[in-house]
Structure 1
Amino acid sequence: MKAILALEDGTIFHGENFGIEGEVIGEIVFNTGMTGYQEVLTDPSYCGQVVTMTYPLIGNYGVNIDDIESGKPQVKGFIVRELCDNPSNWRSVETLEEYLKRHNIIGIQGIDTRALTRILRDKGTMKGIITTDPNFSLEDKIDEIKAYEIKDPVMCVTTKEVIHYKGDGLKVALLDLGIKQNIVRSLLKRGCDVYVYPANAKVDEIMAVNPDGIMLSNGPGDPKDCVETIDTIKKLIGKKPMFGICLGHQLTALANNADTEKLKYGHRGCNHPVKDLEKDLTYITSQNHGYTIIEASLDASRMEVSHRNMNDGTIEGVRYKDVPVFTVQFHPEASPGPKDTAYLFDEFIELMNKYK
C-alpha cells in the first residue's frame, strides 16, 4: 500500500506502507545508528516521536526477545529507506514488520531518507504525518500537524508502581523518568539492590528505604515541563550521592537554577564523540535527546563541565563541587564503543561507598 510522509513545512514524500495502515502525527527526528533499531524503537525517550533511521537498510537481523529497553515500542511511527523482508540472525523470532504490526505502529519505507535528514538538519526538527489515506490533503491536515504537542510524556512512560530488583550490594533508588532497562541491568551487574520509583514519587517515599545512592534516568520531552520532579530533585540533592543520565542530567541542572534550551535537531545515534575533560580522553557514545544545558547558566562556583560533545561543543556532563552529584547527557549503559563509558557506573559505586 502507498503511504505519504508530510512535514509541517509542506514537504511531501511518497513511499510504501509497512506495519499497520492508518495515520499518525508526531515530531519527526532522525537517528544515525547503523544498528540498534530494536533498542531505538523501545527507548521511552522517543515517546511522541516518529523516528527516521539514516542507515539505508533496516530490519536485516529481525527482532529478538532480548534487545529491548522497555516493554513495547515507544515511537509513534518509523521511517526507513529500505525494509528487509527476510532477516537473518540466530536470535530473530519475527520480522520488523511483524513486530510493528503486533504493536500497532505505522511505518513508511522507500523514501529518500538522506533528503529528509538534510531537511531536518537545515530547518530543525519539525512535526509531520505518516498516512495511508489515498485522499490525503496536506491543506486539510496542516493545522492539526502544527498544533501537535507531546503532552506529559514522562508520566506516559514511567512505572506506575515501585519495582524492586533484589541485589546483595549497595541500595539504589532509581527515579524512572522513562528508563532504559539496561540502566537497571548495569546496576544489577554491580550487585546493587535497586528500587525503581515512579517519576512523581515523593521524597519521603524515596528516602524510606534509606538508599546508598539515587539515580535519575533518561526520559522524553522538554525538561522544563517536569516541574514536580525538579522540585523533588531539589529536596533530594545533598541527602545521598546522585547520578543522573540524559533527562536526569538536565533536571538536576534545572534544580540547581541552571537553564536548558532545545537543540536544532538533537543528538540521536550511537556514534557521538564525547570528551571526558578530566581524563583527556574521547569516547564514542550513544545519545537520544533534543535539549541541552546552557553553559552560561551554570554557577561556576558549584558546577563544572566534565564532558563535552566534540561535534558541537555542547555540555555532555556536569560535576557538582559542593555535593556528591554528577550527571551525563549521553547513555553510559549503552554499548556503542562497545562499553567505553560504563566506567561511570563504577564511579557511582565508588561515590556511594565513600559516603556510606
Structure 2
Amino acid sequence: MVDEIILTQPDDWHVHLRDGAQLATTVPSSARSFGRAIVMPNLNPPVTTTPSALAYRTRILQHVPPSRVFEPLMTLYLTETTTGHEIERAAAGAISGVKLYPATATTHSEAGVSDWRCCDEALACMQEQGLPLLIHGEAITPGIDIFDREAVFLERELEPLLQRYPRLKIVLEHITTAAAVEFVRQAPPRLAATITAHHLLLNRNDLLLGGLRPHYYCLPVLKRERDREALLEAASSGSPKFFLGTDSAPHARSAKENASGCAGIFTAPAALELYTEAFEQAGCLSRLEGFASHFGADFYGLPRNPNTIRLRRESWSLPATYPYGQDVVIPLRATSALRWRLIC
C-alpha cells in the first residue's frame, strides 16, 4: 500500500473565487494545493473586458498567503456583444481564455450566450489569436430534461462549433456524462475536458436519496453511477485530453439551505485529497500526476510547475464551516474523515 505520494505542483483549470470579502477564504483555499488556477469570470457584473479582468487579478493576489506562490489565470466572460477588438486586447493582455456560458445555464449566466452564432466575430478572432474557448456545456432549450442537457449540447451545439472553427482550442469544462467522455475522446486534439472531484466521487443518489442534500447540488447536476464510473475511467486513463478542474464554487450557507438553493460545491479546501481518494478508488494513483499536474499545462501551452508537493495517507477532517463574508460556507465532506492529507 502506498502511504506517500510526491507530485509536480498541480494546477486547477477551473475555479470560482468570487470577490470582495469572500476572497479571504477562497484564495488561500486554492493556493493551499495549486500553483495556478483558471479563474471564472461570472461575477456580478461579469468580467467582460481585459482591464476588469486584470483589476480582478490584483484583488485576488492581495489574498495569496505569503508562504504560497499562486498565479491566477484570468478569463473573460463571452457575451453576444463581445468584439474582435476586445479579444485582441485580451490576447495581448495576458488573458488565458474566454468563457462561454449558455444564458441562464448556471450562476450569474444571465448575460451569457443564447446563440453562439451571434459571437462569430469574437470566436473567429479567438481562433486566430490562439485564445481557448472554455465552455459550460449544457443546452438551455426549455423542455430538455436537466439530466440530458449535456448530451444534447454535444450534438446540437458543440459538434457544429467544432466544424465552424476548425482551429479553435476548446475546453469542455466539468464534464459529467459517459457521452461527454466518448465525445472528447473522438474529437480532435484541440478539444479537451476538465473533470471535478465531486463528479468522480458522487452520483445523483448522493444528492437525492434519504433527503435532498443542498451541499451536493451543483450544475451540471450529478449524474448516474455509470456516468461517474466513465468519468473516473477517463480521468485515470492517462489520456492528456482529460485534466483537473475543481469547479469549486462556494455559496454562503444561507444561499444553499433555502427553498431555492444555489448550485455549487466548495471543494477547494481539500480538492487534491479528494482527487487522490478517487484515483485510489480506481487503482491508478500512479496516473494522478499526469491528470493533476501535467496535461492541463500542456494543453494551455504553459510550462509545468517546477516545484513538488507531498500527500500522506493520514486520517483528518475539515472544519464544519469557513468564514464567507458576513456568512459561512460549508465545504464538501465537512467534519468527515479524509484518507489523504497534503503535508507540503
Question: TM-score, normalization: structure 2?
Answer: 0.30
Structure 1 or 2: more strand by fraction: 1
Structure 1 or 2: more helix by fraction: 2
Based on CA coordinates, which of the two structures has the bigger radius of gyration?
1
Question: TM-score, normalization: structure 1?
Answer: 0.30
